Amino acid sequence: MNRREALQDIFRLIDVNGNGQIELKELKALATDPSAQGKLLEANDTLTWLDLDGDRQVSEEEFTQVFEFVGTDMSDREFELLLEDMKAQAAAAGVGEAPSREALLKRVFQALDKDNSGFIEMHELKTLVGQVAPAESLERARGTLRMFDTNEDGRVSNDEFLGVFEFLGQDMDDAEFHGLLSRLQEKGFEALYEGDYKHPHTCRAWLEGEVVPTLREGLLALLKEVEKNKLDLATGVPWDGGVHMPRGWRPFSPLRWLSEWLVRAATAPPPGSAPEGSGVDGLDAFGLAQHVSLESMNRAEKIAYIFSQIDAGNTGYILADHLIHTVQLIFADGAAGVTEPHSVIDPVLASMGINPVDSTIDRSEFEQAITQMTSMLSEEEFDEAARVVVAQRDWRYCRSRPDKFRYLFRSLDLDHSNQLNLNELKVLAQRMDPDTNEETIAATLDFLDKDGSEQVSAEEFVEAMSSLLAHVDSDAELDDMVQRMLHMRSDADPAHEVEPGQLADFVRGLRTHIVAAQLPTSTIMDKLAGRQPLVLLDVRPDEERLVSVMPGATHVALTPAPAATWGYVLTGGASAAASVVREALATATATALPTAAPPVVACYCSTGELGGVAALLLSDALRITCYNLCGGIINYYNQGGSVCRLADGKQVQALHPGSQQQRAFITRPNNYR
CB 330 within 8 A of CB 389: yes
Asked whether residue 237 carries a pLDDT value surpassing 60, the answer given is no
User: Residue 470: its pLDDT value, please?
Assistant: 79
CB contact set of 283 (below 8 Å; sequence gap of 6+): 267, 289, 290, 560
Band the pLDDT of 369: cuts 50, 70, 90.
Answer: very high
Dihedral (CA of 654, 660, 662, 668) sign: positive
User: Residue 244: its pLDDT value, please?
Assistant: 53
Counting Cβ atoms within 10 Å, is residue 633 exposed (0-12), middle (13-18) or buried (19+)?
Answer: buried
Segment 241-265 mean pLDDT:
67
Own/partner contacts of 79-84, CB < 8 Å, gap of 24 or more, are 79/3, 81/107, 81/110, 83/6, 83/7, 83/10
Pairwise CA distance, residues 562 & 294, whole Å: 11
3-state secondary structure of 332: coil
- Partners of 558 in the β-ladder: 570
3-state secondary structure of 415: coil
* Topology of the domain covering 300-487: Recoverin; domain 1 (1.10.238)
What percent of the chain is modeled with pLDDT above 90? Answer: 12
Band the pLDDT of 624: cuts 50, 70, 90.
Answer: confident
Least confident of 145-149, 154-158, 268-272: 268-272
Backbone angles phi, psi at 283, to 5 degrees: -115, 145
Indicate the residue type of 634. Answer: I
Within 13 Å, how many C-alpha atoms sit on residue 574's CB side?
21
Segment 475-504 mean pLDDT:
72
Pairwise CA distance, residues 187 & 295, whole Å: 36
CB 171 within 8 A of CB 111: no
A 10 A CB-CB count for 216 gives 10
User: Residue 288: its pLDDT value, please?
Assistant: 46
Least confident of 6-20, 215-229, 311-325, 420-434: 420-434
Let me know if the fold of 300-487 is the same as that of 494-665: no
3-state secondary structure of 144: helix
Segment 465-473 mean pLDDT:
78
User: Residue 248: its pLDDT value, please?
Assistant: 53
| ω into 134 cis (within 30 of 0) | no
| 360-362 and 317-319 strand pairing | antiparallel
User: Residue 96: its pLDDT value, please?
Assistant: 55
pLDDT per residue as tens digits for the range 59-100: 888 888 878 887 787 777 777 777 777 777 666 665 555 567
Domains in the chain: boundaries? 3-193, 203-231, 300-487, 494-665
User: Residue 558: its pLDDT value, please?
Assistant: 93
Burial 321-346, CB ≥16 within 10 A → b, else e: bbbbbbbbbbbbeebeebeebeebbe
A 10 A CB-CB count for 539 gives 30
Asked whether residue 284 carries a pLDDT value surpassing 50, the answer given is no
User: Residue 132: its pLDDT value, please?
Assistant: 42
CA distances from 343 to 92, 323, 324, 382, 495 (A): 44, 15, 12, 18, 49
Dihedral (CA of 592, 596, 599, 604) sign: negative
Band the pLDDT of 368: cuts 50, 70, 90.
Answer: very high
Segment 466-492 mean pLDDT:
68
Q: DSSP letter string over 432-478?
A: H-TT--HHHHHHHHHHH-TTSSSSEEHHHHHHHHHHHTTT---HHHH
User: Residue 489: its pLDDT value, please?
Assistant: 42
Asked whether residue 428 carries a pLDDT value surpassing 50, the answer given is yes
pLDDT per residue as tens digits for the range 179-236: 777 777 666 666 565 554 445 555 666 677 777 788 888 888 887 788 777 766 665 5
Q: Which residue has the higher pLDDT, 41 or 510?
A: 510
What percent of the chain is modeled with pLDDT above 70? Answer: 75
Average pLDDT, the chain: 77
CA angle 238, 242, 248 (to 5 degrees): 40
Pairwise CA distance, residues 464 & 414, whole Å: 20
**What is the Cα 181 distance to its own chain's centre?**
23
Asked whether residue 238 carries a pLDDT value surpassing 70, the answer given is no
Asked whether residue 407 carries a pLDDT value surpassing 50, the answer given is yes
Pairwise CA distance, residues 97 & 336, whole Å: 58
pLDDT per residue as tens digits for the range 370-389: 999 999 999 989 999 999 98
Pairwise CA distance, residues 248 & 183, whole Å: 45
CB 607 within 8 A of CB 658: yes
- Per CATH, the architecture of 3-193 is what? Orthogonal Bundle (1.10)
CB 524 within 8 A of CB 534: yes
Least confident of 326-330, 428-432, 522-526, 531-535: 428-432
Q: Which of 301, 435, 317, 422 is nearest to 365 (CA)?
A: 317
Backbone angles phi, psi at 388, to 5 degrees: -65, -40
Pairwise CA distance, residues 341 & 330, whole Å: 9
Pairwise CA distance, residues 605 & 544, whole Å: 9
Pairwise CA distance, residues 662 & 558, whole Å: 20
Asked whether residue 536 carries a pLDDT value surpassing 80, the answer given is yes
Pairwise CA distance, residues 627 & 518, whole Å: 5
Q: DSSP letter string over 114-128?
A: TT-SSEEEHHHHHHH
Burial 125-155, CB ≥16 within 10 A → b, else e: bbebbbeeeeeebeebbeebbeebbeeeeeb
Q: Which residue has the higher pLDDT, 458 or 263?
A: 458
Band the pLDDT of 491: cuts 50, 70, 90.
Answer: very low
Candidate CATH numbers 3.40.250.10, 1.10.10.60, 3.40.710.10, 3.40.109.10; the one for domain 494-665:
3.40.250.10
CB 226 within 8 A of CB 252: yes
